């Protein structure tokens, strides 16, 4: 029976992922399946445990192979964790291995940051090391609060994957397009969430790589189309896909793989609404339904009792506003992406334009996507860091996006011991980013207007209310989802605003044909 | 970058490291019947909250002194009382008389850790920040780097947040630091008040009392004992007496109360009272005082801020090396003054602070704090190397040994390799420490000598500390000659 969200159930499910020991529950289970499944035979679908366990492999094949390699190292740490029957297994050695594997794979991320720092130019403000754009960028990327929280506390391998993405961006900046394309293709087969930014890659490579020259006013020169380049790009992508999906095609399991990768049976929003447009939509729906109930416009019996913030990922209906289908979200996303793609096609500004388009694609997909997880905001934040040290306008947008995006990650860590850590780390990153970018652009107009300042300062009282005041009130039992709802909606406002501002700046900027210096 | 942004970031880094270390297990976790010193702290809250003041230090049916009886001065008791009030507000079970023995829960652990962090934030950290801001002749960036390195000192973090052995060391050290700050900046009354509070918090701070006394006495002499000096002396005496009375007020009502408290603080009836032991103790006492007398006399005759800090180091180190029944964590009393001279002699200070952390290795391993200690030590070392470039400051002048080596060269003209010797010694010392750590962690000691590794650690640390004792005393004694020469020149 659907009822008020059972917070105990939510709590228990989350407790499986709680701090320290068991945050890795979900992920080393994948290790188990990687080993168990691969060890015997690459048949993901027929393995009986996959149907019963709550943590199953839902990433593309390359990630599975990655886990397979890890499992071979894992057996030197603790043999027990690789037993398929050992669900919820946790030991200190397992933990050690998991944490060290994340730290080790972050080496790729560090290398990628190094390459990115080489690509950005940046003006010389002062002679001090700490005021150089390269230094600021490296700190913003390496000590990114979101990445730290998600990878090292919540536990995932995002550092490694973002390293791949940043590396491919750096290669495109360095005009090594084939490498960039190859890296991105590999990345897609590691984690399919990067499909969000695939249009940017596709259009940019087509426009700026396959058409080798432009006319003097910057528009396209059709006769400079290079078949060789198109075919070589296509070949690279095809080979990578073949390597990844080939085995499953041969075993006739492609359908199963795709149904695991794109589970549209899940609801519009995650248990905790990602702060995107649909969070605002849901919020509005709730407000209207409450008003409607009070003013007797709606019949209480006809309203489905399920709250949208239930911990279980089910499908549900909106009460006042029209319900949203996956197709609708896809259409909205495409419409949102289109202007930036057109900009990239008609006003190519080299790699910098590509980067802006990539960020806009990631943000737009975040805004309108189906079942978006709040971690996906990192897809926009990390590339945006590269832009932030270039122009003051970009720095302003970056700061708003980052601060609200990082704050929206707070519900990922909900146990009491982690509370001081997340507040301290967030304060550290926010204070550093704001002060360093302000110093970098001190000769231009201030980064924030009064409205933005108030909004950002409002995050403090919001946190105090949600984490300290609310649990002590009587509403905790009656409406336990209010802190999540408030966080979601408040951050959604900020992220929408940043998205809008970035879009305006991309569309309005005059098409300047610059050659990128390295 | 503006100053206060950087300072905030540095303080936040310090807090983050502290809280991260505190997420580790504590001593005595889940080990009945005595549990560990975490239980001691909780028990003191129980006692001070539920019993009247007169019974805090006495053995009674409600207060069994054998089970973690109070053995710190009254200020600790008042602090425990304050924490108990907060505990009562959150969950009265934590401090219920008798029934709360051995209480262990996630929430309670969090509460205790938070009290340490808050005490740190209110007392120790502001003292460090203010001290570094008041340092003279160094740039703003160096000051902020100084704060970072002091806040990252592993020993204090591991003991207060990891080990939980008689926590709140940061409170007494913080008060002592306020005392040093006050006295160095010529706010003598406030400084001595702060230091009295420190002594009334933990009696170990008496290690620092002699330098304070000599420095203030020296200041009085300098101002002339017939005029302003006498006034200052009287004012200081009044301040000290008043602060002691204020702290001990409830215990001064009866002579027996005062005596009992003193008996708890200085348990001289531990150990046997045989004649040879008494003689041994007497000689030990004499030796201690002999080793610190020269520095103290010098400080009284020539009071200077710099001499004061170095004398703090050498006195505390003498007491640590030669006293009776010294706990390993008392090295923190030496580490604090060494942190204060970090900007003067970065190389030797960093070396000392590394050795002091290493000397507590057996204690840390007992509480499974290997990972935090390795990580914090490496972080501290990297911070010092980066911000102070310690390896470039190993010349004689940088080590403040110039006047000493000049004097020696009068008799031994070939004595030019002092800095190189010291660098080699550093290398040997660090290598030995790393090797010993690796051995202790990976190997099992032989059956006949189960404490082999602990004893080796003690032995190596002791050698290092003796070297440092000699070094600091040399600096103090030869500093005057340099000062006098400079005065002659100018």
For helices B305-322 and B209-222, angle between their N-to-C axes, nearest 10 degrees: 150
C-alpha distance across the termini of chain A, in Å = 62
DSSP-assigned letter for residue A469: I
**Residue B238, min C-alpha distance to chain A (Å):** 43
Contact A166, A115 (CB under 8 A): yes
Report d(CA A239, CA A233) in Å as an integer. Answer: 10
- By CB neighbour count within 10 A (0-12 exposed, 13-18 middle, 19+ buried), where does B269 fall? exposed
**Cα distance from A435 to chain B (closest Cα, Å)?**
7
* Distance between CA atoms of residues B134 and B132, nearest Å: 5
A431 interface with B at CB cutoff 8 Å: yes
Nearest CA in chain A to B22: A417
The closest alpha carbon to B45, from B91, B96, B104, belongs to: B96
Which tens digits make up the pLDDT trace of A329-350?
A: 889 999 999 999 988 888 888 8
CB B125 within 8 A of CB B132: no
* Beta bridge partner(s), residue A220: A214
* pTM, two decimal places: 0.85
Residues of B in contact with A439 (CB under 8 A): 1-2
Instruction: List for chain B the helix, strand, coil content (%; round to 5).
Output: 75, 0, 25
pLDDT of residue A254: 77
**CA B48 to CA B75: how far, in whole Å?**
12
Q: Measured between alpha carbons, how far is B453 from B441 in angstroms, rounded to an integer?
A: 10
Report whether A327 contacts A185 (CB < 8 A).
Answer: no
Task: Between A294 and B481, name the one with better pLDDT.
Answer: A294
pLDDT for position B23: 82
Query: What tokens appear for A13 in the block?
Result: 């499910």
Check: CB of residue B221 under 8 Å from CB of residue B229: yes
Model confidence band, residue A208 (pLDDT cutoffs 50, 70, 90): confident
pLDDT digit string (tens) for A343-393? 888 888 888 889 999 999 999 999 998 888 888 899 999 999 999 988 888
Q: A–B: how many Cβ contacts below 8 A?
A: 40
Name A351's bridge partners: A349
| CB contact (8 A) between residue B16 and residue A421 | yes
In order of A25, A155, B79, the CA distances from A18 in angstroms are 9, 10, 33
Quote the DSSP letter at residue A248.
Answer: H
Confidence of residue A517 (pLDDT cuts 50, 70, 90): very low
A33-68 pLDDT, tens digit per residue, is 444 433 333 334 333 333 444 456 678 888 888 888
Q: How far apart are CA B377 and CA B155, in angstroms?
A: 9
Report how far residue A358's alpha carbon sits from residue A384's, in angstroms, rounded to the nearest whole number: 9
Q: Which of A191, A138, A127 shows the shortest CA–CA distance to A161?
A: A191
Q: Where are the domains of chain B?
A: 1-29+104-267+274-478
Count Cα atoms within 13 angstroms, Cβ side, for B279. 3
Which of A103, A428, A436 would best serve as a mutation to test chain B binding (most B beta carbons within 10 A)? A428
Are A439 and B1 in contact (CB < 8 Å)?
Answer: yes
- Whole-angstrom distance, CA of residue B337 vs CA of residue B331: 11
Instruction: Give how far B484 is from chain A: nearest CA, Å.
Output: 40
Angle between helices B331-340 and B346-359 (to 10 degrees): 160
Q: Which residues make Cβ contacts (< 8 Å) with residue A240, sequence separation at least 6? A: A182, A185, A186, A188, A189
Q: What is the pLDDT of residues A416-433, one digit of tens each?
A: 888 888 899 999 999 999
Which residues make beta-bridge pairs with A349?
A: A351
Q: Give the three-class secondary structure for A372.
A: strand
Contact assignment for B2 to A439 by CB distance below 8 Å: yes
Q: Quick check: A431 and B12 CB within 8 A? A: yes
> What is the rounded end-to-end Cα distance, in angstroms, of chain B?
39
Q: Vertex A371, ends A366 and A372: CA angle to 5°?
A: 30
- Pick from A131, A417, A427: CB nearest B23: A417
Mean pLDDT by 10 residues, chain B (490 residues): 83 93 66 63 85 82 75 89 89 77 78 90 94 88 92 92 77 95 91 93 90 91 83 90 89 80 73 64 78 86 89 91 79 94 91 94 84 92 90 77 80 79 92 92 82 88 92 84 44
Please tell me the distance from the alpha carbon of residue B101 to that of residue A370, in angstroms, as a whole number: 53
Residue showing tokens 């969430």: A193
**Does the CB of A125 have a partner CB in chain B at under 8 Å?**
no
Q: Cβ A424–B15 below 8 Å, yes or no?
A: yes
Cα separation, A119 vs A169, whole angstroms: 10
Within a 13 Å sphere around the CA of A145, how many CA atoms are in the beta-carbon half? 27
Q: Are A78 and A90 in contact (CB under 8 A)?
A: no
**DSSP secondary structure string for all residues of B286-318:** HHHHHHHHHHHHHHHHS--HHHHHHHHHHHHHH
> Percent of chain A at pLDDT above 90?
25
Summarize pLDDT for A459-478 with one digit per residue, the tens.
999 998 888 888 777 777 77
- What is the value of ipTM here, to two decimals? 0.86
Interface contact B5-A20, CB threshold 8 A: no
Rg (CA), chain A: 24
Residue B194's pLDDT is 94
């Amino acid at each position: 029976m659907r009822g008020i969200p059972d917070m105990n159930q939510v709590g228990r499910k989350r407790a499986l992922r709680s701090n320290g020991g068991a945050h890795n529950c979900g992920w080393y289970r994948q290790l188990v399946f990687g080993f168990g499944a691969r060890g015997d035979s690459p048949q993901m679908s027929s393995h009986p445990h996959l149907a019963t366990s709550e943590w199953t492999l839902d990433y593309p094949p390359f990630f599975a192979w990655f886990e397979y390699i890890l499992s071979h190292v894992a057996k030197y740490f603790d043999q027990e964790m690789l037993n398929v029957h050992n669900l919820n297994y946790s030991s200190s050695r397992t933990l050690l291995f998991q944490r060290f594997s994340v730290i080790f794979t972050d080496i790729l991320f560090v290398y990628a940051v190094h390459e990115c720092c080489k690509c950005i130019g940046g003006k010389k403000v002062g002679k001090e090391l700490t005021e150089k754009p390269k230094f600021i960028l490296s700190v913003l990327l390496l000590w990114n609060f979101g990445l730290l929280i998600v990878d090292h506390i919540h536990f995932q391998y995002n550092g490694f994957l973002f390293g791949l993405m940043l590396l491919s961006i750096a290669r495109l900046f360095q005009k090594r397009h084939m490498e960039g394309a190859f890296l991105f293709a590999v990345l897609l087969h590691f984690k399919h969430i990067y499909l969000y930014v695939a249009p940017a890659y596709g259009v940019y490579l087509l426009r700026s790589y396959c058409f080798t020259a432009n006319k003097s006013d910057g528009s396209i020169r059709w006769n400079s189309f290079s078949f060789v380049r198109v075919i070589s790009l296509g070949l690279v992508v095809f080979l990578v896909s073949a390597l990844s999906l080939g085995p499953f095609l041969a075993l006739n399991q492609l359908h199963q793989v795709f149904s695991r990768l794109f589970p549209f049976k899940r609801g519009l929003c995650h248990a905790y609404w990602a702060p995107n447009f649909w969070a605002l939509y849901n919020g509005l729906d709730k407000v209207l339904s409450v008003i409607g109930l009070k003013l007797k416009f709606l019949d209480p019996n006809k309203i489905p009792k399920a709250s949208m913030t239930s911990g279980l990922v089910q499908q549900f209906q909106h009460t006042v506003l029209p319900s949203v289908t996956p197709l609708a979200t896809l259409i909205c996303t495409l419409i949102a992406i289109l202007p930036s793609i057109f900009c990239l096609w008609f006003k190519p500004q080299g790699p910098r334009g590509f980067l802006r388009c990539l960020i806009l694609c990631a943000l737009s997909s975040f805004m309108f996507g189906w079942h978006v997880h709040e971690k996906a905001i990192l897809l926009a934040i990390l590339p945006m860091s590269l832009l932030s040290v270039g122009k003051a306008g970009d720095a302003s947008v970056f700061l708003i996006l980052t601060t609200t995006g990082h704050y929206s990650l707070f519900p990922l860590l909900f146990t009491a011991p982690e509370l001081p850590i997340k507040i301290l780390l967030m304060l550290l990153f926010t204070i550093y980013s704001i002060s360093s970018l302000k110093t970098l652009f001190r000769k231009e107009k201030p980064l924030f207007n009064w409205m933005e300042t108030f909004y950002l300062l409002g995050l403090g009282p919001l946190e105090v209310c949600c984490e300290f005041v609310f649990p002590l009130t009587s509403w905790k039992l009656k409406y336990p989802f209010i802190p999540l709802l408030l966080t979601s909606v408040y951050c959604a406002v900020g992220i929408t605003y940043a998205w809008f501002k970035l879009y305006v700046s991309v569309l309005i900027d005059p098409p300047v044909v610059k050659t990128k210096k390295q | 970058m503006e100053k206060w942004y950087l300072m905030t970031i540095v303080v936040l880094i310090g807090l983050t490291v502290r809280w991260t270390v505190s997420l580790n297990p504590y001593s005595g976790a889940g080990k009945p019947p005595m549990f560990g010193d975490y239980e001691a702290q909780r028990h003191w809250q129980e006692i001070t909250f539920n019993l009247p003041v007169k019974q805090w230090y006495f053995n009674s049916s409600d207060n069994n002194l054998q089970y973690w009886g109070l053995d710190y001065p009254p200020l600790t008791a008042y602090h425990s009382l304050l924490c108990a009030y907060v505990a009562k507000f959150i969950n009265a079970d934590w401090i219920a008389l008798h029934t709360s023995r051995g209480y262990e829960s996630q929430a309670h652990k969090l509460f205790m850790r938070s009290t340490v962090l808050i005490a740190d934030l209110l007392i120790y950290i502001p003292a460090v920040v203010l001290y570094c801001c008041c340092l003279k002749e160094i740039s703003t960036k160096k000051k902020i780097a100084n704060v970072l390195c002091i806040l990252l000192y592993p020993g204090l973090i591991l003991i207060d947040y990891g080990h939980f052995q008689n926590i709140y060391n940061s409170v007494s050290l913080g008060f002592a630091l306020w005392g040093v700050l006050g006295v160095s900046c010529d706010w003598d009354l406030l400084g001595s008040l702060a230091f009295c509070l420190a002594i009334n918090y933990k009696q170990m701070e008496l290690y620092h009392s002699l330098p304070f006394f000599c420095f203030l006495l020296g200041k009085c002499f300098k101002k002339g004992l017939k005029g302003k000096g006498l006034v200052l002396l009287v004012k200081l005496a009044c301040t000290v007496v008043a602060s002691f009375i204020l702290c001990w007020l409830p215990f001064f009502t009866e002579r027996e109360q005062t005596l009992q408290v003193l008996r708890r603080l200085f348990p001289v009836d531990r150990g046997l009272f045989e004649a040879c032991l008494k003689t041994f103790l007497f000689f030990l006492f004499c030796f201690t005082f002999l080793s610190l007398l020269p520095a103290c006399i010098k400080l009284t005759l020539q009071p200077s801020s710099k001499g004061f800090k170095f004398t703090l180091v050498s006195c505390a180190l003498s007491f640590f090396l030669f006293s009776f029944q010294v706990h390993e964590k008392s090295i923190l009393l030496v580490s604090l003054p060494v942190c204060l001279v970090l900007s003067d002699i970065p190389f030797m200070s960093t070396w000392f602070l590394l050795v002091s952390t290493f000397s507590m290795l057996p204690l840390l391993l007992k509480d499974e704090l290997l990972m935090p200690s390795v990580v914090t030590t490496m972080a501290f070392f990297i911070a010092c190397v980066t911000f102070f470039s310690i390896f470039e400051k190993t010349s004689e002048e940088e080590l403040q040994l110039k006047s000493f080596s000049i004097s020696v060269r009068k008799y031994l003209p070939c004595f030019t390799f002092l800095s190189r010797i010291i660098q080699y010694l550093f290398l040997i010392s660090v290598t030995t420490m790393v090797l010993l750590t690796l051995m202790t962690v990976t190997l099992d000691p032989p059956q006949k000598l189960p404490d082999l590794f602990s004893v080796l650690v003690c032995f190596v640390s002791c050698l290092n500390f003796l070297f440092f004792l000699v070094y600091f005393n040399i600096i103090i004694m030869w500093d005057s000659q340099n000062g006098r020469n400079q005065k002659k020149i100018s």
